[in-house]
Amino acid sequence: MEGYKIIEVKESVFANNNKEADELRGKLKDQGIFLLNLMSSPGSGKTTTLKGTIAALKDDLKIGVMEADIDSDVDAATIEKTGAKVIQLHTGGMCHLDAGMTSQGLESLGTESLDLVILENIGNLVCPAEFDTGAVKNAMILSVPEGHDKPLKYPLMFSICDALIINKIDVMPYFDFDLDACVKYAKERNPDIQIFPISAKTGEGMEAWENWLKEQVLDWQKK
């Protein structure tokens, strides 16, 4: 018989975070604010996609952005040029954001009169998927150079996302990327996931993604 106890602290931590996330969603609902959690690997084109999205929606929606990074303000400086309200969040070495961190960010951003807040999460396909940020919807970007097998390698990320953006389709002829296989693998993990093949660089496919996001925001505000 072992002389020690095994304590499952991970479940407790997640349970507390999930409760805080649900409370945050309730507050956002009361305020009519839609929070999108945008995740991806580093280099997937997250900031470029975000710039194009803001440009397309800024006349219809008042947009705020929270840029999360371990220690940098490069992305915030880039997004500031779009005219969106933006703040930079430093995680102090942590590879994810949880609901408490998100709440702090929203308070610092100031959400008065905003319709849509986009949280550009830490570049990582593992840790961010494990923590509910309190977002209304989760979206992720997978770029063509990363390969079509990522849904097999990171199933949790694909299972918790409402939307999958497959970026950099303009370079698909130069990579061994099977779009049909990627869609198949993603749907196996999440049959309801919405998939948008795009090129943030050329603008191809962006309209479908932007229209979906706008519709989600308006539906959230009507409920």
pLDDT at 12: 55
What average pLDDT does range 186-213 have in this prediction?
A: 98
27 pLDDT more than 90: yes
3 pLDDT more than 70: no
Q: Please give the share of the chain, as a percent, with pLDDT higher than 90.
A: 75
Instruction: Give the residue, 103 or 68, on which the prediction is more confident.
Output: 103
The tens digit of pLDDT for each residue in 74-89 reads 778 888 899 999 988 8
Rounded Cα–Cα distance for residues 40 and 157 (Å) = 9
Rounded Cα–Cα distance for residues 56 and 26 (Å) = 28
pLDDT at 156: 97
- What's the half-sphere exposure (Cβ side, CA atoms, 13 Å) at 166? 26
Collapsed DSSP state (helix, strand, coil) of residue 65: strand
Are the beta carbons of 133 and 21 closer than 8 angstroms? yes
pLDDT band with cut points at 50, 70 and 90 for residue 1: very low
Are the beta carbons of 167 and 198 closer than 8 angstroms? yes
pLDDT band with cut points at 50, 70 and 90 for residue 49: very high
Mean pLDDT (the chain, rounded): 91
Instruction: Give the residue, 112 or 4, on which the prediction is more confident.
Output: 112
Q: Please give the share of the chain, as a percent, with pLDDT higher than 70.
A: 92
Instruction: Give the residue, 95 or 34, on which the prediction is more confident.
Output: 34
Rounded Cα–Cα distance for residues 101 and 133 (Å) = 8
pLDDT band with cut points at 50, 70 and 90 for residue 48: very high
Question: In the beta sheet, which residues pair with residue 68?
Answer: 89
The tens digit of pLDDT for each residue in 89-145 reads 877 767 778 999 899 999 989 999 999 999 999 888 998 999 999 999 999 999 999
The tens digit of pLDDT for each residue in 162-180 reads 999 999 999 999 999 999 9
> What are the strands, taking DSSP E only, across the chain?
34-40, 63-69, 85-90, 116-123, 137-143, 163-167, 194-197
* Tokens found for residue 15: 């349970």
DSSP string, 171-223: GGGGS---HHHHHHHHHHH-TT-EEEE--TTT-TTHHHHHHHHHHHHHHHHH-
